[in-house]
């Protein structure tokens, strides 16, 4: 069955912001930034580079991967590269000609419209494409080891677990592939998927022999890692509503594992804590989001569907604080950098909020283009990329 994806919330609003007025489209304009804002933390741009033309208007959230002191990033126009995480110096870059959408180029070669990943483990880099191909590349120079074709788009980074690559496609299937050659070991078919859905999939989590992911019909699903069989599922949203829009309940954020507890949320659904081994809910509270959560200490951080930033007690789900200053700025998923929550917005600004009380502490403008991907924090650096492929590393210091 052919699926139709509706890019609502972050997706549609980001797209509309680039070419229409908010008034004309009857969309809430971004909350203006405080011109008298005085930062309380020093933000330093350590380095910057550009990776192709980024995700462009594809609607996908392409995060870089940072492994062993190297940043790997890709774009939908066939660019992929590796950069020194401390300096931004180019280690290698590749650019493959894209084809398949418009019919040019060598018909015997797969496309290179990168969209899912990159993901890295050891000397293997894996990346998916909008045309359903999955590439296995060498991390040392980007040379191709193998590629396989799947029947639908791969728009989220594959998950690497030992000698298994776990890939999700937009038609509701999850594949287990052999990391040495891409051969299929198993496939789990979710069956019928909603005709109307948010654009995107949340990253999958592999832990303790189990694969966890959020589905397009608002469920948290656990599969056996060795054969793909379903262990359990838990609803994150009811799917109720009078219209198709109201009934959308995608779980498009990453699943977080902390100890034995899982944390996940859904659009038009709930923020839920679940016991990992049994799938039994521990607590749940109404909360609608289309992005991933972040966690540190006893706190969970999330942006709701209106881009209000919240902090919750992870043991009970109780409110800790809420910040309205970025409402309707269609922010990325948050990440934690030291004592701050970091995220990007539709106008290319990067914001830092204090984890203790949510107060705005820092602001930098990366570009004038939207930031959809969740920042990646490793060590004392936050790596942020916009939809045009501008990649920047930021460090925080005392003011």
CB 210 within 8 A of CB 224: yes
- What the block records as the tokens of 258 is 């902390």
- What the block records as the tokens of 369 is 């283009």
* pTM for the model: 0.89
Q: Which residues are CB-neighbours of 304 under 8 A, at least 6 positions away?
A: 287, 288, 289, 310
Q: What is the pLDDT of residues 279-321, one digit of tens each?
A: 999 999 999 998 999 999 999 999 999 999 999 999 999 999 9
- Dihedral angle over CA of 324, 328, 331, 336, nearest 10: 0
With tokens 């909020």, the residue in question is 353
**Which pLDDT score, from 0 to 100, does residue 354 have?**
98
Whole-angstrom distance, CA of residue 371 vs CA of residue 343 = 8
Buried b / exposed e over 87-105, threshold 16 CB at 10 Å, is: ebeebbebebebbbeeeee
Residue 15 backbone phi and psi in degrees, to 5? -65, -45
Q: What is the mean pLDDT of residues 77-89?
A: 97
Residue 247 backbone phi and psi in degrees, to 5? -85, -5
- Report the half-sphere exposure of 264 (CA within 13 A, side-chain side): 35
Give the β-pairing of 349-354 and 360-365.
antiparallel
* pLDDT band at 1; cut points 50, 70, 90: very low
* pLDDT band at 251; cut points 50, 70, 90: low
Beta bridge partners of 47: 393
Q: What are the strands of the beta sheet with 270-275, ordered from one edge?
A: 256-258, 261-265, 270-275, 281-286
Which of the following CATH numbers is that of domain 1-60+327-399: 2.30.40.10, 3.30.70.2740, 2.40.10.480, 1.20.1240.10?
A: 2.40.10.480
With tokens 């040379």, the residue in question is 143
Q: How many CB atoms lie within 10 A of CB 382?
A: 25
Query: 367: burial class by Cβ within 10 Å (0-12, 13-18, 19+)?
Result: buried
Whole-angstrom distance, CA of residue 344 vs CA of residue 169 = 26
Whole-angstrom distance, CA of residue 375 vs CA of residue 254 = 13
Domain ranges of the chain: 1-60+327-399
**Which pLDDT score, from 0 to 100, does residue 16 have?**
36
pLDDT exceeds cutoff 80 at 97: no
Q: Which residues are CB-neighbours of 108 under 8 A, at least 6 positions away?
A: none
Q: Which residues are CB-neighbours of 172 under 8 A, at least 6 positions away?
A: 189, 190, 191, 192, 193, 215, 216
- What the block records as the tokens of 109 is 């070669």
Q: What is the pLDDT of residues 254-284, one digit of tens each?
A: 899 999 999 999 888 899 999 998 899 999 9
Candidate from 35-39, 111-115, 354-358 with smallest mean pLDDT: 111-115
With tokens 């350590």, the residue in question is 46
């Amino acid at each position: 069955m052919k699926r139709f994806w509706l890019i609502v919330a972050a997706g549609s609003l980001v797209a509309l912001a680039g070419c229409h007025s908010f008034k004309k489209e009857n969309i809430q304009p971004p909350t203006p930034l405080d011109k008298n804002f005085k930062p309380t933390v020093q933000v330093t741009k350590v380095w910057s580079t550009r990776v192709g033309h980024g995700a462009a208007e594809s609607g996908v959230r392409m995060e870089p991967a940072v492994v062993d002191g190297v940043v790997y990033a890709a774009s939908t126009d066939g660019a992929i590269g590796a950069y020194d995480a401390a300096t931004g110096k180019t280690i290698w870059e590749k650019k493959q000609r894209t084809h398949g959408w418009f019919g040019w180029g060598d018909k015997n070669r797969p496309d290179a419209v990168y969209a899912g990943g990159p993901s890295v483990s050891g000397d293997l880099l894996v990346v998916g494409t909008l045309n359903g191909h999955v590439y296995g590349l060498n991390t040392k120079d980007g040379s191709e080891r193998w590629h396989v074709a799947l029947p639908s788009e791969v728009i989220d980074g594959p998950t690497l677990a030992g000698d298994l690559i776990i890939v999700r496609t937009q038609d509701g299937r999850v594949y287990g592939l052999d990391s040495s050659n891409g051969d299929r070991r198993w496939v789990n078919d979710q069956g019928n998927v909603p005709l109307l859905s948010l654009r995107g999939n949340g990253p999958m989590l592999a832990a303790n022999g189990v694969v966890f992911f959020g589905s397009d019909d608002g469920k948290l699903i656990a599969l056996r890692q060795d054969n793909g069989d379903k262990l359990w599922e838990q609803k994150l949203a009811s799917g109720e509503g009078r219209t198709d829009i109201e009934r959308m309940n995608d779980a498009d954020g990453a699943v977080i594992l902390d100890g034995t507890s899982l944390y996940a949320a859904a659009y038009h659904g709930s923020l839920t804590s679940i016991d990992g081994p049994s799938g039994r809910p521990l607590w749940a509270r109404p909360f609608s989001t289309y992005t991933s959560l972040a966690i540190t200490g006893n706190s969970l951080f999330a942006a709701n569907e209106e881009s209000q930033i919240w902090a919750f007690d992870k043991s009970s789900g109780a409110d800790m604080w809420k910040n309205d200053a970025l409402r309707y700025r269609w922010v990325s998923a948050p990440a934690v950098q030291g004592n701050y929550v970091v995220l990007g917005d539709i106008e290319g600004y990067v914001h830092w909020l204090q984890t203790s009380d949510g107060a705005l502490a820092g602001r930098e403008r990366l570009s004038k283009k939207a930031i959809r991907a969740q920042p990646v924090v490793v060590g004392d650096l936050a790596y942020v990329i916009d939809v045009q492929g501008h990649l920047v590393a930021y460090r925080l210091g005392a003011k």
